[in-house]
Structure 1
Amino acid sequence: MNTSAQLRAALAASLTRDGTLTDPHWRGAAETVPRELFTGNYFEQVPGSVPTRYRPVRQGDSEWLQGIYTDRTLITQLDGNIRPNDVTDGTVAGSPSSSSTLPSLVLRMWRQLDARPGQQVLEIGTGTGYSTALGAHRLGDDNLTSIEYDPVVGDAAAAAVKAAGYAPRLIIGDGLRGDPEGQPYDRLIATCSVRYIPIPWLHQVAPGGKILVTLSGWGYASGLALLTVTGPGAATGRFLPGYTSFMMARPHDRPPRPTLVLLPGEERPSRIDPAAIGTWTGSWVAQLAAPSAERMGAGAEQILWDVSSGSQARTAPGPDGGWTVVQRGPVRLWDHVEPAVRSWQAAGEPHQEAFGITVSASRQRVWIGTEDGPGWDLPI
């Protein structure tokens, strides 16, 4: 059986070959920081289970260490309070609420942030502490502050970071409010997603500093943005290539909802193929246009549901070709989505790297191509 050091070296070598690790300093961090200290026991999804169920994988199990050094996200908590050790028999259903993100994504984001020793860096979302330890190894303990919302998760991360030999500044609190002491930072990296850029971040990162964050929403679409702060409360940036998603910051997560019941409404032809919003960027555009809606369904049969207003939109293939949409409620969701998708299609259906974002004290706007291109305000 391979040792932890051997598995770390093999993972680092693999990530170097695929272009993730282009900086020898970050490769050194990947080869040094023992991920098993941070994941501990974790959950494996039970294939084919509906609703999704998970089984615990514990230290001592034959696949435990090998799984830790596979490049994948490991679920470490369900429903905000269920951890692997809490499951004493069989499997458990739940929604992931904390995880150890796949190493390639963590390392790629650190590289994209372009943080260097001597710069002050604020990390939002300590999580298991693995990303924090990688940052501390590369940047130095004195240059890194990390904030975790969940005190149980944060305490476990603090113990793991200490066991790994690092001592960055760790805070339990609401990361969306930033550092309670408000000191200026050169860089901010978020390992959770948000619906909009929290205003405190824009005042705690110094002008010229950078913010790397995943923007997401209740439609479950995501895009990774790198912003440069241009002044207090203001920033501009672009979305990056690739496909990045994180769990939503809990204060930004969707509200509780009842069981969906599809109700009658007004029917008309759809002017777009509903399957367009089932693609990675198409779903992102639909979410920008209808930020209060959740999206369900697949292909031509899409469902949008705004819990706060009770509004619904559902599409289906038309009886004579094309597609139909049924809408009800005060917000005509499909009426918002259609022109947004058509604007995106007119631009050539680009990936999110063709999108940008401009943030001011009064609005946060995502746009295609240039600032004067088609755009949508985020729900601040």
Structure 2
Amino acid sequence: MKDDQRLRVRLGDRLTEAGCLRTAPWRAAVEAIPRHEFLRGGFFEQVEEASPTAWRPVLPNGGGRWLERCYADESLVTQVAGTVVPGDLRGEIMRAPTSSSTMPSLVVRMLEELQVEDGHRVLEIGTGYSTALLCHRLGDGSVVSAEVDREVSGRAAASLSICGYRPNLVVGDGLAGHEEAAPYDRVIATCGILTVPESWIAQTKPGGIVLAMVGGWLYASELVRLTVHGDGTASGRFLGGQISFMLARPHLPPPLGLLPDFGSGEERLTALGPDLLTADWTTRFVAQLAAPRAQHISLTSEGRTHQVLIDVEAGAWTVLTEVDKGWRVRQGGPVRLWDAVEDHVARWRTDGAPGLERFEISVTPDGGQAIRWPGAPRRAPG
């Protein structure tokens, strides 16, 4: 048995033991698809203890380290700064990742949760290793995969061809779906989103499933599975797991620009401090529902650290500063962000602080989205 075949079998064993890989067809796909073919250009690894975060390339060089890492259960960064790939660099780079090969356990968990059956047609948002797994399971004629980055799509197409697959690959904004080949039985996205696009719902057959990672700019996200209904709406549940993807590029937060005058606005004491913004995943997700377009930053002034929420589009802001007996909050703009966060978190706690696996999500044909927990008002912000 070749080294990569042995590694594929070992990966299948690990994913099965972890409970991510549950059915024989997906186990066969994992053992058949060479993940390393999608990483021929290498990947970036994070430089330990570097501040700010730095990345260095790991390239195929005939040694075993690269190949072993290709079959580790970890996400591997394949692009930074929108254009830089591992082969472009000698040394280190301090820029943000913009594309990656998702950890196999998450890939197969999502594919299992998609509940595909023979004969289903699938629209996938984001092209790569998962596309090959779908092709193996359903046949490449049943797979449409949309990728916004032309270079990423081109490299994935070459890797898919090596694996023997030629699905319908679309270069463009996957948030718009691909109406030309609709309707689909299943839609799956391997990028994070703020709201479920109405195009995905419209292009899915009634009774079909949309599976995606919904989150926000406080970077707490969850996997959701929605069933599409005959009236053009969709509804479903959160699947839990505290996992995340890079956000779809159109859903990335805007630049902060010129900061507002934090000396203006209204000031009061607050019992809830900014630990809500960095606390456990569920609390942060609930806070994020109350201020879905707000970004969190820390500022130091006159020896004191201030925690800031800014909603650039709304022109609203909150500054939290620690005082002797708690926290002082100052708010400005057309809405009071911290009032909304306090109220939302308080109501969630009053309702027993249910876990995210009990949350529900609904989407309307006009793109409206509501997320609620048991006991919450029928329409919670989201």
On whether the aligned pair clears a TM of 0.5, the verdict is yes
Structure 2 SS opposite 1:181: helix
Task: Report deviation, 1:374.
Answer: 5.9
Q: In the alignment, which residue of structure 2 is the partner of 1:224?
A: 223
Deviation at 1:273, TM superposition (A): 4.2
2:73 match: 71
Corresponding position: 1:306 with 2:311: yes
- 1:84 corresponds in structure 2 to 86
Q: Which amino acid aligns with 1:75?
A: V
Q: Assess if the C-alpha contact under 8 Å between 1:290 and 1:336 holds in 2.
A: yes
1-side partners of 2:230 and 2:52: how far apart? 47
Alpha-carbon offset, residue 257 of structure 1? 2.9
The 1:309/1:234 distance shift into structure 2, 3 A limit, reads closer
Give me the whole-angstrom Cα distance separating, in 2, the residues matched to 1:241 and 1:295.
Answer: 24
Cα distance, 1:222 vs. partner? 0.8
Aligned to 1:27: 27
The residue that corresponds to 2:123 in the other structure is 122
After the TM superposition, which of the residue ranges 11-20 and 250-259 deviates more from structure 2? 250-259
Cα distance in 2 for partners of 1:25, 1:103 equals 15
The residue identity in structure 1 corresponding to 2:86 is P
> Equivalents in 2 of 1:43, 1:232: separation in Å?
45
Equivalent residue runs for 1:232-243 within 5 Å: 232-243=231-242
Judged with a 3 Å threshold, the aligned counterparts in structure 2 of structure 1 residues 301 and 102 are, in CA distance, closer, same or farther, namely farther
Secondary structure at the aligned position of 2:22 is classed as coil
Does 1:358 pair with 2:367? no
Q: CA deviation at 1:182?
A: 4.7
Q: Does 1:6 pair with 2:6?
A: yes
Is the contact made by 1:220 and 1:294 (CA closer than 8 Å) also made in structure 2?
no
Task: Measure how far apart 1:312 and its partner are.
Answer: 2.5
User: Do 1:141 and 1:168's aligned partners in 2 also have CA atoms closer than 8 Å?
Assistant: yes
Q: 1:23 to 1:297 in 2, by over 3 A?
A: farther
In the TM superposition, structure 1's runs of 4+ consecutive aligned residues that sit over 4 Å from their partners are: 259-262
Q: What does residue 340 of structure 1 align with?
A: 344
Q: Give the equivalent residue in structure 2 for 1:181.
A: 180
- Contact residue 195 and residue 369 of structure 2 kept, 8 A: yes
Equivalents in 2 of 1:145, 1:192: separation in Å?
Answer: 16
Q: Kindly provide the amino acid, as one letter, of the partner of residue 186 in structure 1.
A: D
Q: How far does residue 13 in structure 1 lie from its aligned partner after superposition?
A: 0.6
Write the distance in 2 (CA, Å) between the matches of 1:55 and 1:262: 39
Structure 1: runs of 5 or more not aligned:
none
**Counterpart Cα distance in 1 of 2:286 and 2:137:** 36
Whole-Å separation in 2 of the counterparts to 1:231 and 1:324:
49
2:191–2:245 Cα contact (<8 Å) kept: yes
| Equivalent position SS for 1:48 | coil
Aligned to 2:267: 267
Instruction: Show the counterpart of 1:55.
Output: 56
Equivalent pair of 1:317/1:324 in contact (CA under 8 Å): yes
What corresponds to 2:140 in structure 1? 141
1:164 aligns with 2:163: yes
Name the TM-score, length of structure 1 as normaliser: 0.92
Q: Which residue of structure 2 aligns with residue 286 of structure 1?
A: 287
**Take 1:284 and 1:118, find their aligned partners in 2: how far apart are those partners?**
37
What amino acid is the match of 1:280?
A: W
Q: Distance in 1 between matches of 2:26 and 2:306?
A: 44
Instruction: Supply the distance in 1 between the matched residues of 2:11 and 2:308 (Cα, whole angstroms).
Output: 40
Kept after mapping to 2: 8 A contact 1:311/1:333? yes
CA distance in 2, matches of 1:374, 1:199: 20
Partner of 1:323: helix, strand, or coil?
strand
CA contact (8 A) 1:343 1:374 kept: no
Distance in 2, matches of 1:346 and 1:78, equals 43
- Cα displacement (A) at 1:136: 0.7
Q: Tell whether the 8 Å contact from 2:198 to 2:364 is kept in structure 1 after alignment.
A: no
CA contact (8 A) 1:120 1:187 kept: yes
> What letter is aligned with 2:173?
D
Q: Which runs of 5+ in 2 are unaligned?
A: 300-304
1 CA distance for matches of 2:75 and 2:156? 16
Supply the distance in 2 between the matched residues of 1:50 and 1:352 (Cα, whole angstroms).
33
- Pairwise CA distance, 1:14: 0.9
Paired residues, what number?
371
Contact 1:277-1:285 within 8 A present in 2 as well: no
Report the Cα offset of residue 375 of structure 1.
4.2
The one-character-per-residue Cα deviations of 1:154-204 (angstroms, maximum 9, x if unpaired) are 011111011111222211111111114052111110111111111111111
Inter-partner Cα distance in structure 2 for 1:261 and 1:103: 43
Is 268-277 or 348-357 further displaced after alignment? 268-277
8 Å contact from structure 1 (residues 236, 358) kept in 2:
yes
- 2:179 touches 2:203 (CA, 8 Å); kept in 1? no
Matched, 1:106 2:110: no
Matched-pair contact (CA < 8 Å) for 1:56–1:84? yes
